[in-house]
Structure 1
Amino acid sequence: MKKIKYRIVYNRKKQLDNQGKALVQIEAYLSGRKSYFSTHIYLKPDQWNTRASLVCNHPHAEELNYMLEEFILTLQMRELEAWKQGREICLQLLKGTGEDTASENKLIPFGRKWIENSSIRQSTKSNLNTTLSLLDSFSPSITFRQLDYKTLLSFEQFLKNKKLGMNTIAKHFRHIRSILNEAIRQGLIPKELSPFAEYKIKTTESRHTYLLPEELEKLEQINLSRKKHTLCHSLDAFLFCCYTGLRYSDFIRMKQENFIQADNGLWMTFKSQKTGTVTQIPLSHLFQGKAVRILYRYPNLDDFFHIKPNASVNKELIRIGKLAGIEKHFSFHTARHTNATLLYKGVQLATVQKLLGHRDIKTTQVYGEILPQTIIKELKKCKF
């Protein structure tokens, strides 16, 4: 009778992740073939006893070793059940089919667990989880093997039916590809199983939404005194970011210590959460110091930089835009695009890059929009 042999393998690929850890896997061997199963346990080299195949020097070593034993026992039980049913013993039966599919072969639970244990930024985790939520509404029990080329096309159409743009859809597909690549690295699925060898992620040239000077002026002059206080707060936060180019993620992290009073005026200095770039902005010298005047309205800066979640603020901006008579749909991030576009009109590209905290000047170049007023001004100079 054929019998599968099992052993615990640590750091099979001989490489550590960015936390200096490697994966523990279970190797199943039968008739010259091997299959590997992720235990989702990551350890540092000094936490693994190679000779004894045990976790050591770990605060939860006993529990982890018990988990490894249970994992092997689960595989052995699947093998035994197949033998009782008279089925052929093979490595594939360990993975399970139909209703017996192992949870580690289901894409969404695997993705959720990987995201939770990953060291990536919280904002990135949130974006990845949003993608998984969409995939869950499309096919909640989808497995890695079910996610083939045709399924990706169906999911693409599913997202189009939700009125998502091409670039937004592309973002979600890149997230799915990242999760699949992690499953491949952990040995859950072979590389050739990835449908992205055939499916090509499609994008279109994006155009940033920004406010024209006259639209920005409408927001500056709107009277919200009779409206809810939160609308005034959201508007001030949006305008502040129009004058400074701050992202929402950086705005909500601002503190009193980020502001420095120098001989030449007030400066704001911070390290961008997204890029890690240190940026210094001379508030007194940008947009006639309008950002400084907004700050003076808030004696406690912690109150000013504590605003609602991004989605909630965006809903309030839609309401504010209608009250101001602006037909254009804009969000909080539009403030950054507005800042960049208006700066580009009169400041050198390298300066705009520095103020926005871009690491690559190509990122800054996309803001090279020519405003209608600029066209008219230049044409008046010409003599036809």
Structure 2
Amino acid sequence: MTLSCTNLKRKRRNSPFALIMGQIVRLEQKGKSRTSETYLSTYRSFMRFLKRDDILMYEIDQNMIEDYELWLQKDGLAPNSTSFYMRILHTILNKAVRQSLIPSCDFFQNVYTGIATTTKRAIGIDSLKRIKTLDLRLFPQLDFARDMFFLSLYFRGMSFVDMANLQHKNLQNGHLVYCRQKTGQRLDIKWERQMSDILDKYSTDAKYLLPILKTPDGESRKYYKNMSKQVNRWLKKIGTMAGIQIPLTMYVARHTWASLAKQKNIPLNVISDGLGHDSEKTTLIYLSTLDTSAVDDANSKILADLL
């Protein structure tokens, strides 16, 4: 039976994924590509679970949500990964409630929506020194990945996406000043000699400070994601060569900076500010204002151990 235009519009309006797709478009328009990708990932995952093209609001119930969680678990996803999809779905259904598309109800009371403690991702000074002293002259790709890893560490655990988007104009009077892609928070890092030692190897006339993005702006997001995968793949090889027990990735540099700062008895609020945490749940203490000299001192103490 063919749907009338009115019924078709009503069907689309009562589809949770019409809300998702609409949100994706709005996020893209606001330049929040990373967040839009999380919504798209959830949409694709739930559709694979349903083995359908769409679903109506009234068809979703508590049993379906619990079955979806079980399906994710059988697919090998860890608790934090299943929780990721559950939280996105919960957000979408709450939006449907606010728009009076479905009655208020809680389908998520028996599924996990928290954030579990992750496995150790930090490494110690001895491991860092083993990585640093590896002879990688015959492996330029591995050498590049190692340089990016240490730059992330020197930059107080800066994320790879923020490193990729650094421009020459971010260097101002002996400081690296930039805004985090994830939160928009402005960070100020005192420039240290170890940073120049690496950066001098990659001097470029391009607008970017580092040779990560080498493509027109319109394709930068896709190119960054490919580079991120490659660098992490190369880092895992480096980790094996250096005898590191955990998989080495760019994210390990961020955890390592925080771990080393804690070992130096740096106050937790200083570590939080150094990492650029805002209201993230992983941050225990956050101060909106802090003298940057305290963070610069913490970074100098960490880098001194690597000389």
TM class, shorter-length: 0.7 to 0.9
Write the letter of the residue equivalent to 2:126. E
Give the match for residue 277 of structure 1. 185
In our comparison, the structure showing a higher alpha carbon Rg is: 1
Write the letter of the residue equivalent to 1:170. S
Q: Deviations over 1:77-131 (max 9, x none)?
A: x5xxxxxxxxxxxxxx995xxxxxx233333344123212344721111122112
Give the match for residue 198 of structure 2. 294
Where in structure 2 are the equivalents of 1:42-121 lying within 5 Å?
74-75=5-6, 78=7, 102-118=11-27, 119=30, 121=32
CA contact (8 A) 2:62 2:107 kept: yes
- Cα distance in 2, alignment partners of residues 303 and 358 from structure 1: 23
- Cα distance in 1, alignment partners of residues 187 and 176 from structure 2: 8
Give yes or no for the alignment of 1:351 onto 2:270.
yes
- Cα distance in 2, alignment partners of residues 316 and 355 from structure 1: 27
- Cα distance in 1, alignment partners of residues 80 and 112 from structure 2: 13
Give the SS at the match of 1:276.
coil
Give the SS at the match of 2:108.
helix
CA 1:204–1:348: 2 relative to 1, 3 Å: closer
Give the match for residue 125 of structure 1. 36
Give the SS at the match of 1:191.
coil
Write the letter of the residue equivalent to 1:291. M
CA contact (8 A) 2:187 2:276 kept: yes
CA 1:200–1:164: 2 relative to 1, 3 Å: closer
Percent identical among aligned pairs is 23
- Cα distance in 1, alignment partners of residues 280 and 95 from structure 2: 31
- Cα distance in 1, alignment partners of residues 89 and 279 from structure 2: 26
Work out which of the residue numbers 134, 139, 156 in structure 2 matches 1:222. 134
Q: Deviations over 1:28-47 (max 9, x none)?
A: xxxxxxxxxxxxxxxxxxxx
Following superposition, the deviation at residue 214 of structure 1 comes to: 1.4
Give the SS at the match of 1:145.
helix
Following superposition, the deviation at residue 361 of structure 1 comes to: 9.8
- Cα distance in 1, alignment partners of residues 15 and 236 from structure 2: 39
CA contact (8 A) 1:242 1:335 kept: yes
- Cα distance in 1, alignment partners of residues 59 and 280 from structure 2: 41
Give the match for residue 45 of structure 1. none
Write the letter of the residue equivalent to 1:218. R
Give yes or no for the alignment of 1:252 onto 2:160.
no
Give the match for residue 316 of structure 1. 234
Give yes or no for the alignment of 1:335 onto 2:253.
yes
- Cα distance in 2, alignment partners of residues 336 and 185 from structure 1: 38
CA contact (8 A) 1:237 1:304 kept: no
Query: Of the two structures, which has the highest relative contact order with CA contacts closer than 8 Å and spacing of 6 or more?
Result: 2
Give the SS at the match of 2:129.
helix
TM-score by length of 2: 0.75
Following superposition, the deviation at residue 166 of structure 1 comes to: 0.8
Unaligned runs of 5+ in 2: 214-223, 286-307
- Cα distance in 2, alignment partners of residues 201 and 363 from structure 1: 15
CA 1:315–1:137: 2 relative to 1, 3 Å: farther
Work out which of the residue numbers 150, 160, 179 in structure 1 matches 2:92. 179
Q: Deviations over 1:151-205 (max 9, x none)?
A: 111111111122221122112111111121222333332323x523665624433
Give yes or no for the alignment of 1:304 onto 2:211.
yes
Write the letter of the residue equivalent to 1:327. Q
CA contact (8 A) 1:260 1:267 kept: yes
The CA RMSD over aligned residues, in Å, is 2.9
CA contact (8 A) 1:258 1:270 kept: yes
Unaligned runs of 5+ in 1: 1-70, 79-92, 96-101, 367-384
Q: Deviations over 1:215-269 (max 9, x none)?
A: 2112212222222x333222211211012110123111111111124xxxx3211
Give the SS at the match of 1:333.
helix
Q: Deviations over 1:288-322 (max 9, x none)?
A: x4222111111115443436443333222222222
Give the SS at the match of 1:297.
helix
Give the SS at the match of 1:279.
strand
Q: Deviations over 1:318-376 (max 9, x none)?
A: 2222232222113222211111111222233333233222235985459xxxxxxxxxx
CA contact (8 A) 1:234 1:313 kept: yes
TM-score by length of 1: 0.61
Work out which of the residue numbers 149, 162, 177 in structure 2 matches 1:238. 149
Q: Which structure has more helix as a fraction of its residues?
A: 2
Q: Which structure has more strand as a fraction of its residues?
A: 1
Runs of 4+ in 1 over 4 A off after TM superposition: 197-200, 360-366
Give the match for residue 142 of structure 1. 55
CA 1:144–1:234: 2 relative to 1, 3 Å: farther
Write the letter of the residue equivalent to 2:80. N
